[in-house]
Amino acid sequence: MPEIKKINHVAIVVEDIEESLGFWRDALGLPLSHIEQVPSQESAVAFLPVAGSEVELVQPTTEGSGIARYLEKRGAGMHHLCFEVDDIVGMLAQLQAKGIQLINEEPLTGSDGRKYAFVHPKSASGVLVELYQLT
């Protein structure tokens, strides 16, 4: 049986990473691991590790991308919740067998080799759920 191992990260869409770091890093005290440009997602992402999970601050870097439209429509806030899973192909099959609507029926592969897929919020209490399988 495929199994959820942990919360990998909570992604927060923000207007401006530097401004948001004033809260998450400077006031709350979370360490900033690094900031990464992610051209494929038309965004920049700040990674703040916390006990085996991460807070990710995602800033759109173009207009018109999905994440930019989300920010425009809903404002800054939590965007998606990502779980690490030990067998993403098995998990996606299990979800489909239960009638869960997926955004990605097959896992995508990130530049670092990790596999990931999104579950549709309609099937997940309004939450955009991401699944990661680390390599």
Q: Residues 130, 114: contact at Cβ < 8 Å?
A: no
Question: In terms of Cα–Cα distance, which of 7, 18, 127 is closest to 77?
Answer: 127
Helices (H), the chain: 17-24, 66-74, 88-97
Among 35, 89, 103, 124, binds a second copy (CB under 8 A): 124
Select from 36-44, 60-68, 69-77, 105-113 the region that touches a second copy (CB under 8 A): 69-77
- Closest to a second copy by CB, 98 vs 111, is 98
**Per-residue contact string for residues 3-32; x = within reach of a second copy by CB under 8 A:** xxxxx--x-x-x-----x-xxx-xxxxx--
SS3 content of the chain, % helix, strand, coil (to 5): 25, 40, 35
Residue ranges in contact with a second copy by CB under 8 A: 1-7, 10, 12, 14, 20, 22-24, 26-30, 50-53, 57, 75-78, 81, 83, 91, 94-95, 98-100, 121, 123-127, 129
